[in-house]
Amino acid sequence: MVLVTELTKALGLEVPLVQGGMQWVGVPQLVTAVSNAGGLGLLTALTQPSPDALREAIRETRKNLKPGVDERSKYGGFGVNITILPSINPPDYEGYTRAALEEGVRIFETAGSNPGPIIKAVKEYGGYVIHKCTTVRHARSAQKLGADMLSIDGFECAGHPGEDDIGGLVLMARAFEELSVPFIASGGIANGQGLAAALALGACGANMGTRFMCTKEADIHENVKRAIVDSDERQTVHMFRTLRNTARVFKNKVSMQVVELEKKGAKFPEIQPLVSGQRGRKVYTEGDLDAGVWTAGITLGLIHDIPTCEELVKRIGQDAEKHIDRLASLSAHKSSSSASRESRL
C-alpha cells in the first residue's frame, strides 16, 4: 500500500509529510534530509539574515539533494517558508520572495497575515503556495487569494496557535466542511497514527515541526533533542496570552518568568528582553535550555527517539498505512458479521 493524496500527487512526495518552517531550525541540512527522505523540506527564509543569504542557503540545499529529487514535480523538490510577522520594522519580505523565485524555488509556505502579495508573486512564476492558518475563516481568505493548499494549524501546535483555542480534531473537520482547496494538518502530529487520523479527517498530509527538530540532521544542540525525548505533553506553556499573540513554547525558567510578568500586567517592552530571538537561538547553539524561549508542541509526549529523517519519514508512512488498514478492517468485520447474521436467518 502506498499513500497517494493531493499533496503527494502535486509535489511528487513519497510520504505526505511537510517539515515545518521553523526559526533557526529550517536550514539546509534538515531541509535536504527531509526532501531526500521523500517528504517536503522547507527553508525558513527569516532564519537567514538577508535575501542574499537565503540565495546561498537555497544553493546549498539544492547541491545536496539526491539525484532526481529536485525533478520529482514541476515545482521542484523543496520549498521556502515566509512567515509574515507583526512588526514595526518588517523584514524585506519582497526581497526574500524575489531571491527565492530567482533561484528557481517554486514551492512556498506562507504564514501570518495578508499573504496576498507573496501569493501573487509566486503564482506569476507558476509556483505552488501552501498557506498556514489557525482558523477556517482565515483559510477561506487565503483560498480566495489563490493559495493552492492550506495548512490548518490546531491548538496543539508549537508557536502561534491563534486566539480561538480550537483543537485539530474539530478544526480539520470544519476545514473539510468549508474549504474547496485541499489542506494538510499541522500541530499535534508526530507519528503514523496521527497522520492516519489527519487523513481520516479530510487532510491530504501533515506538517510536522517539533518531531523533525528531534532528528539527527536537525542542526540544533543535542541537549535540546534529549529534552524533547525526556519530556511529556505537559512540558509546554502559553505565553503572550494577555498580548493577544499567544505562543506555545517549552516550559522553562524564562517562559515561566514571562507568564508571571503577564499575570502582573506587564506590557511587551518589559517582556521583550526575555524573549529576544538571539536568546532563543542560544538554546539551539549552546544547549542551555534556559537561555531563552524556544517553541515546542505538545507532541513532546509522542517523541521517544532521535532517528534520521529517512528512518522517521519511512516509519511514519508505514505506520500510517497500518492504522488505515486497521480501520478498514473494522468495516470489513462489520460486513462479515452482517453477512453471518443474514445466513443464519
Read off the CATH number of the domain in which 197 is found: 3.20.20.70
**Model confidence pLDDT, tens digit, residues 117-150:** 999 999 999 999 999 999 999 999 999 999 999 9
**308 falls within a domain:** no
Is 44:78 a contact under the CB 8 Å cutoff? no
**175 falls within a domain:** yes
Residue 179 reports pLDDT greater than 70? yes
Residues 53 and 156 in one domain: yes
**58 falls within a domain:** yes
Domain boundary among 191, 219, 247: 219
Residues 68 and 154 in one domain: yes
Residue 201 reports pLDDT greater than 60? yes
Instruction: Give the pLDDT band (50/70/90) at residue 339.
Output: low
**Model confidence pLDDT, tens digit, residues 227-255:** 999 999 999 999 999 999 999 999 999 99
What's the residue count for the chain?
345
Geometric angle at alpha carbon 330, from 327 and 332, rounded to 5°? 115
12 vs 335, which has greater pLDDT? Answer: 12
**If DSSP codes are grouped into helix, strand and coil, which group holds residue 43?**
strand
The CA–CA distances, whole Å, from 295 to 30, 211, 247 equal 17, 12, 8
The three cell numbers of residue 322 are: 497500518
CA gap 241, 207 in Å, rounded: 24
Span 178-185, average pLDDT: 97
pLDDT at 21: 93
Domain boundary among 188, 203, 219: 219
Span 152-163, average pLDDT: 94
**Model confidence pLDDT, tens digit, residues 47-76:** 999 999 999 999 999 999 999 999 999 999
Residues 32 and 124 in one domain: yes
Is 41:20 a contact under the CB 8 Å cutoff? no
Residues 254 and 108 in one domain: no
CA gap 64, 158 in Å, rounded: 28
Residues 98 and 36 in one domain: yes
Tell me which DSSP letter residue 66 carries: P
Residue 336 reports pLDDT greater than 60? no
Residue 91 reports pLDDT greater than 60? yes
**130 falls within a domain:** yes
Question: 61: part of which helix (H) or strand (E)?
Answer: helix 51-63
In which order are the strands placed within the sheet that holds 78-84? 17-19, 206-208, 183-186, 149-153, 128-133, 107-112, 78-84, 41-44
Residues 151 and 175 in one domain: yes
**10 falls within a domain:** yes
Residues 130 and 232 in one domain: no
User: Considering the chain, what percentage of its residues have pLDDT values greater than 90?
Assistant: 93
Residues 57 and 133 in one domain: yes
Residues 51 and 182 in one domain: yes
**313 falls within a domain:** no
Span 171-199, average pLDDT: 98
Residue 18 reports pLDDT greater than 80? yes
Residues 253 and 199 in one domain: no
Total domains present in the chain: 2
Residue 343 reports pLDDT greater than 70? no
Q: Please say whether the dihedral angle defined by the alpha carbons of residues 70, 117, 130 and 133, taken in this order, is positive or negative.
A: positive
Residues 15 and 154 in one domain: yes
Span 185-190, average pLDDT: 97
The three cell numbers of residue 126 are: 507558476
**72 falls within a domain:** yes
**163 falls within a domain:** yes
CA gap 232, 293 in Å, rounded: 18
Residues 73 and 164 in one domain: yes
pLDDT at 249: 98
Q: Among 241, 244, 243, 238, which residue's Cα sits nearest to residue 256?
A: 238
Domain range enclosing 285: 222-299
